[in-house]
Structure 1
Amino acid sequence: MPTGGAAAGSPGDTVAVPVLDPDAAAPASDSTPSAPSGQECPNCGTANAADALFCEACGYDFTTGTMPRKGEHASTPDAAPGNVSPPLDDTWVAELWIDPQWYAEQSSPDPLPSAGPPTVVPLRNTSLLIGRESKSRDIHPDVDCGADNGVSRRHAQLTTDGTRWWVEDLGSSNGTFVAGAVDPLPKKPIDVGVKHEVGADDRIYVGSWTRLVIRKAAPGEVV
């Protein structure tokens, strides 16, 4: 049996085993750490995941290229708080309905609120956020879906050229659905990150019971 510094080989042969000096410095590695992949926020410089829709640090919107919304200021007197997108020449509104039929198709544990007249929300800018408010995260959507917990904080984005409207899902938990005025309830959500044109009287469904319809404001409807 080999002993000491010898290792077994062919009969009669010994192989020297190198003895490492415990005080010797470790050899330098030729490899260098690879730079983290992702995207840098143009607003605050924070590195984010490559597929991030919003900056984790400041809330910058990578999808629309707009600055984070801040509740403490407005860009124009007619703008929603913190919305820095250009104002619209004509006033549009979104009607928010509580839709029992949509609720029946969902699996929400929340009780359905009493349905009634729609909540009318003025749409004064060319880019608007649909979602739910979060003061702790400084999220103040232009179209606030209130108590509907099926709606994500940053759920979808509405954009317009002043005549046509588009809706874009921002990676919401439960998706964004669009159907025509006389179509049955939609079964398939629109693709995430792709603008979907919304026609006249089309219905947008989000969350557990919320239905939105976009239209021009009636004379005197919005002050």
Structure 2
Amino acid sequence: MIVCPNCNHQNPDGAVQCEACYTPLPATTQCPNCGTTVQADASFCGQCGFNLKTPEPESQVATAVSSPVSESDPDRLPDLLTIDPLVSPDPLVEPPPPTSPEPVAEPMLLPPVPIAESTPVSSATQLQNQSGRLLHLQTNVVIELPQGLPVVHIGKPNDRIPPDIDVSGFPNSEIVSRIHADIRADGDAYYIEDVGSSNGTYINNVPLLLGNRHRLRPGDRIALGKGDKVSFLFQMS
């Protein structure tokens, strides 16, 4: 199905314009990994997460190596370098005859000095990964994204997929679907996608089409539903 970016009407695959509002529909193609229908300009497959923008391998360029061959006679070997003769070594000088050794005073033995044990210092540096959070713009409430979850579900309580971030307590939450959007964590990167909400998901006032993923960057404005009534600001901490 192709979702209309204007009215969210679900149109059959292959449709050129929306059946409800006659808005031109974006071009679609199939994911080469799972065969799901996705938009032609999508970066990731909404079904299996396959990267649709894999770069083509660069061509290898052969490097020619020139050989030192004479231009006049290719079979002629290059002339050898002339090596200077070795310098004759200096004559050996006999050492002087040994003399009687002078008496040497015995060294004084000092008590051993205790050495303080040093505490080993670990050179390993603890690296702290950045974590994401959402600032609710209507109430200034900060929601930390749960750590250790590959997928964070956003919505309201339901019997199918309980939300990891419950927005039912925020004002105007009636425009948010029970299963609205997902945020996926990949290392220090976060991606958001709409999972079939009724009123849509908007990134910086641009509708996020079903099946597309958007990589979140600090300062991105996320609106759940139309009218920017339930919106968040993505931040990194």
* Range of TM-score over shorter length: 0.3 to 0.5
Greater strand proportion = 1
Q: TM-score, normalized by length of structure 1?
A: 0.43
Q: TM-score, normalized by length of structure 2?
A: 0.40
Which structure has the greater CA radius of gyration? 2
